Amino acid sequence: MISERDSETTFDEDSQPNDEVMPYSDDETEDELETQPAVEPEQNRINREVEVTRETLRKDCSWQVKANDRIFYELPQFKKTKFLCLKKSIYSGNAIKTYKYNPITFLPLNLFEQFKRAANFYFLILLILQSIPQITTLAWYTTLIPLLLVLGITAVKDLVDDIIRHRMDNEINNRTCDVIKDGRFRSTKWKEIKVGDVIRLGKNAFVPADILLLSSSEPNSLCYVETAELDGETNLKFKMSLEVTDQYLQEERALADFDGLVECEEPNNRLDKFTGTLKWKGRSYALDADKILLRGCKIRNTDACHGLVIFAGADTKIMKNSGKTRFKRTKIDSLMNYMVYTIFVLLILVSSGLAIGHTYWEQQIGNISWYLYDGLDYTPSYRGFLNFWGYIIVLNTMVPISLYVSVEVIRLGQSYFINWDLQMYYPEKDTAAKARTTTLNEQLGQIHYIFTDKTGTLTQNIMAFKKCCINGQTFGECRDKTGELRNRPEQVDFSWNMYADGKLTFHDQYLIEQIRSGNEPEIQRFFFLLALCHTVMVDASDGDLNYQAASPDEEALVTAARNFGFAFLSRTQNTITISEMGIVRTYDVLAILDFNSDRKRMSIIIRDPNGKIQLYCKGADTVIYERLHPRNPKRQATQEALDIFASETLRTLCLSYKDISNEEYEAWNKKFMAASVAVRNRDEALDKVYEEIEKNLILLGATAIEDKLQDGVPETISKLAKADIKIWVLTGDKKETAENIGYSCELLTDETKIYYGEDVSALLQTRLENQRNRTGSTLNSSQRTNEPFLQRGRKHALIITGSWLNEILLEKKKRKKKLLKLKFPRTPEEKQKHLQSKRKLEANKEQQQQNFVDFACECSSVICCRVTPKQKAMVVDLVKRYKKAITLAIGDGANDVNMIKTAHIGVGISGQEGMQAVMSSDYSFGQFRYLQRLLLVHGRWSYIRMCKFLRYFFYKNFAFTLVHFWYSFFNGFSAQTAYEDWFITLYNVLYSSLPVLLVGLLDQDVSDKLSLRFPSLYLSGQKDLLFNYKKFCISLIHGVITSLIIFFIPYGAYLQTMGQDGEAPSDYQSFAVTTASSLIFAVNFQMGLDTSYWTFVNAFSIFGSIALYFGIMFDLHSAGIHVLFPSAFPFTETEINAMLKPYSWSKLSLSLSTCTLPPVVIDYLLHSAPTSMTIWPSESDKIQKNRKKYKAEEEQWKRRPSVFQ
């Protein structure tokens, strides 16, 4: 008897997860089915069917396209209300618009977007406050100029981007093609094409809209297209028109008279699916994706083709897929925002305190001092209120306006460094590393977990036929013609085969002998199936056979059949031609049962020249074995061979066939044709019909294809592991294959203890029971058992299949069933009980998932096999959610896109499976081994540079701004500034911006070689050691101390001082200039002290900034400019008078030495002293001290002679 507690943790106790079975596809329902009523009332059934039919018709067939009839689309039912009584057609025009602005809207829209950012809006408010005379003590330009600079830089960037979009849109919209108008084909611009137009396209032309292929110049109206702009794949795909349109719609007159009506699905973003029906001449014809040419495709190897426009412009599938990508933010971004909020709160508190101080000063001194009377009879409280806003203005530089722009400049520079890195260039495919985003660079230095696909990511995805099992006998070993094993491999001679390409490496002479002798008909049937059952296209224009396949696996199998004497030569709509041991035969193709992720198999039904009908099927071993005839004597022998192939990390497929009688085929074909034109649920109907014919199969054997590891994969994984980065492999391959790949790439070793799904399930069940006993029957996710699952001191690994993953995570799903769900009224008590039960299940599920993540993260490596794309994303999301760790996902195929988008950082590999992963990624390159350089070099450097930039940026702004705070105690808290207005304006723009920007771009603690040699340097980023609230507080304290020194040393020096000429040099203007000069020297020299990697550019920026300050100040303080603008430039000759006196330079020297000497001593003791004297040396400090030694070792290794010479 199952207790209530047990029932909470399992959905289906009777079914144990099957390691060999892939979970249901991601298109299945997420919901568990409720218990269905035993009897459905008849009226309920009728009403439901009518409602479902109406809803389906409305959804699936609401899009109607009438050929050559533009008036048809003006009917009222095809109009929608746009605004008030204005109506617009539901059919989009073909002109596309990707730009955001036009000359009229650019300025207002761009400003509106920029002022939506909190920092920009804050400074706009400050600018408004500065225009109020009663509260401002700063000139308006001190805020306006920096704000205009920030807005201008961003606006120019947006303008350049939008101009590029305008040019691209115009280029595309003004392309031309032939469209039937007034009964003739006429050249027409793309933007003038409408839905329902019949168009003609030539060779190498781009498809202007989503069109239904009507006919082409190729036999049977085949059309070859390249889909590189859709999915990045350069291999050709073929499309085929309906037989009826191919027969009747070849001539211009016939195309002009064509009046067919297409009823199909509404515009959507599913590139691989299309459901519709063509009604013409009183008959209906089924339409699917194989008859649709999508916008963005390119016509290849086809002289001309004709099509009917179904979707245009914004309704096309490529445009529907161009939605916004999920915006990713870095951890430092979030922390930086919180720190800006902290500064803003600090600003308000300081301003409030100073305003209170002014109120008190007015009451005690201001009101009784007649010489301070300003003619305004304001109360002290009101003056304090005005001064609060005055100090908000004066101290506004605590919130740095240029921070975000500077961060973006640094990130852009780091992205270019990644793009320019020749050591991440893959010459074999002419593929360079590419940073596809500029916002995540520093996060590359903080990765905790890497989730990687296997095929094409860890492996090469270049398939080679290695072995096979035919009729229970395994072939592929090194054997001679008699079948005896040989020690020395000898390449098979394929010279007897005129179609052999000479590229296949095979050493089993016995298989060739069996094929040529014809003694084993099953062997010939095996390779005949490989040459027949596929979707490969062939191009024989150059006298040679060039295969174009949708996947490397399929191309490898067809090429193998070609080399073994069964060459695929050509195909038409209804036939396929094959050379069988030199004899060319053509077979009628009666039906092709397509492969998809649910079926995991493909079948073809043919009629041979003798009239015999046969079905040939290839697919995953699990699905083929389920459909075999009970009497298959070679079943066990083939299974043993499959296990051996998997242990050798080979990819496997099973092959089978069956004979079909004419009567059985005719009966099945009627169902097939009906399902093909079904209005609703066509895919489900076809799957059901396919299942009827794909049963009682006869097993032929299995193929084994090799997919080798990429170069440098084990070394890369080893280095990343030393950097404390954990690698999880998420793949759809079999458990044995995935496990052996784990050993090959050194994720697993002989010392590793491996846990499987059943082990984990038992451990988690025990842990869950213990947690329940401790916390009571109601689970609380915050109360957890923190004991580790695994013993420390030994390597552990987890290998789990998708079925076990769903079982453990309580994500087990069932196929969607079209059953009635009757909803009877519930009492309040039943509703409450149901709600409590649901909450209990959710809490239980959350606790189980958290326990699984805790267990998996204690393992040194995790391999998830037989997982779907959605499960890959789910695993990534679980680690993000429960571990709060920074994740990176890397893959090369479309099945990795979901995982790549879910992770904090997505990396795409330009592989054999197209460019879908690359186009969805944040970074891309050609090989997995480049990941170590991306993380350990570029990622770590970016993190170090950004952290140093932020620490220094906050420091220099605090040092600059807080001088006003100390000055307030000596000016009656009157909000008077301690500097000249122009100095305040240009400080962050010119005087201190360049050195910190260059440190953020160029600084490095150790070289790239040492970064790769010592992966442990990466740990500082993972632990957030270089930028956190502690570092922020240190920058704040450092800035406070610097501001104290900069203010009080000149103040004390000027206090009651007499110059050599008998005049007092202690006027306000001289004090302001001396303080400003001290600040410029202090912050720029401090930047120099913090610089680890000196270049000429760094030195020039520091000393150049100081020189620039003096040059500008001398100009702004000149008498000439004062005469022209006396109110804007009141400091006349102040800089010259102050700086020409030796006394001023002594104050500058004292301020500078006092500011810089303590940090130098502290840094020396903590980091730079000899090892015996250093208090807390970091790993980087130790390596820097020994860098000469490491460099000498590298030189010695280079000079060491090779053992192969």
User: Which residues on adjacent β-strands are paired with residue 199?
Assistant: 179, 307
Give dist(CA 85, CA 911) in Å, integer: 53
| pLDDT for the residue 1022 | 92
| pLDDT for the residue 1064 | 54
Under 8 Å between Cβ of 721 and 748: no
Which of 25-39, 391-405, 486-500, 1109-1123 is predicted least confidently?
Answer: 25-39
- Global pTM exceeds 0.85: no
Single-letter residue type at 449: Y
With 80 as the cut, is the pLDDT of residue 248 above it?
yes
Q: What is the mean pLDDT of the chain?
A: 83
| pLDDT for the residue 775 | 62
Which of 259-263, 332-336, 1121-1125 is predicted least confidently?
Answer: 1121-1125
3-class secondary structure, 1167:
helix
| pLDDT for the residue 46 | 42
What confidence tens digit (pLDDT) does each residue in 168-194 have? Answer: 888 889 999 999 998 899 999 999 999
| pLDDT for the residue 121 | 82
| pLDDT for the residue 1068 | 83
| pLDDT for the residue 1039 | 94
Which residues, in sequence order, are CB contacts of 823 under 8 Å at separation 6+?
Answer: none
What confidence tens digit (pLDDT) does each residue in 804-840 have? Answer: 888 888 775 444 444 444 455 667 877 788 788 888 8
Average pLDDT value for residue range 1162-1191: 68
User: Pick from 390, 404, 396, 399: which is nearest to 342 by CA?
Assistant: 399
What confidence tens digit (pLDDT) does each residue in 491-541 have? Answer: 888 889 898 888 888 999 999 999 998 888 899 999 999 999 998 888 776
| pLDDT for the residue 1057 | 63
| pLDDT for the residue 120 | 79
With 90 as the cut, is the pLDDT of residue 66 above it?
yes
Give dist(CA 185, CA 181) in Å, integer: 6
Which of 244-253, 269-278, 512-521 is predicted least confidently?
Answer: 269-278
Average pLDDT value for residue range 58-67: 74
The residues annotated with a catalytic role in the active site are 453
Give dist(CA 491, CA 497) in Å, integer: 15
Give dist(CA 909, CA 890) in Å, integer: 7
Quote the distance between the C-alpha of residue 451 and its chain's center. 12
End-to-end CA distance of the chain: 75
Under 8 Å between Cβ of 67 and 258: yes
Give dist(CA 382, CA 34) in Å, integer: 69
| pLDDT for the residue 305 | 94
Cβ-based neighbour number of residue 371 at 10 Å: 4
Q: Model confidence at 48, in pLDDT bands (50, 70, 90)? A: very low
What confidence tens digit (pLDDT) does each residue in 601-645 have? Answer: 899 999 998 899 999 999 988 899 999 998 888 899 999 999 898
| pLDDT for the residue 818 | 42
Q: Model confidence at 1198, in pLDDT bands (50, 70, 90)? A: low
3-class secondary structure, 98:
coil
Cβ-based neighbour number of residue 1171 at 10 Å: 10
Q: What percent of the chain has pLDDT over 70?
A: 86
What confidence tens digit (pLDDT) does each residue in 946-1001 have? Answer: 999 999 999 999 999 999 999 999 888 888 889 988 888 889 888 988 999 999 99
Which of 111-115, 262-266, 346-350, 353-357 is predicted least confidently?
Answer: 111-115
Which of 61-75, 92-106, 696-710, 812-826 is predicted least confidently?
Answer: 812-826
Alpha helices in 974-1067 (DSSP H): 981-986, 993-1002, 1008-1013, 1019-1022, 1029-1054
Q: In what order do the strands lie in the sheet with 566-571?
A: 473-475, 464-470, 698-706, 650-660, 613-619, 601-607, 583-593, 575-580, 566-571
* Residue bearing the bigger pLDDT, 173 or 770: 173
User: Pick from 859, 908, 878: which is nearest to 806 by CA?
Assistant: 878
Average pLDDT value for residue range 731-735: 79
| pLDDT for the residue 875 | 92
| pLDDT for the residue 84 | 66
User: Pick from 249, 240, 200, 198: which is nearest to 219 by CA?
Assistant: 240
| pLDDT for the residue 1108 | 93
CA-CA-CA-CA torsion sign (1139, 1144, 1145, 1147):
negative
| pLDDT for the residue 370 | 67
| pLDDT for the residue 351 | 92
Q: Model confidence at 889, in pLDDT bands (50, 70, 90)? A: very high
User: Pick from 1035, 1177, 1197: which is nearest to 346 by CA?
Assistant: 1035
With 90 as the cut, is the pLDDT of residue 935 above it?
yes
| pLDDT for the residue 786 | 63
Give dist(CA 94, CA 196) in Å, integer: 12
With 80 as the cut, is the pLDDT of residue 1195 above it?
no
Give dist(CA 283, CA 275) in Å, integer: 17
Q: Model confidence at 35, in pLDDT bands (50, 70, 90)? A: very low
| pLDDT for the residue 323 | 52
Average pLDDT value for residue range 718-747: 86
3-class secondary structure, 263:
strand
Q: Model confidence at 1174, in pLDDT bands (50, 70, 90)? A: low
User: Which residues on adjacent β-strands are paired with residue 1050?
Assistant: none
Average pLDDT value for residue range 218-230: 77
Q: What percent of the chain has pLDDT over 90?
A: 33
Q: Model confidence at 457, in pLDDT bands (50, 70, 90)? A: confident
* Residue bearing the bigger pLDDT, 397 or 1137: 397
With 70 as the cut, is the pLDDT of residue 238 above it?
yes
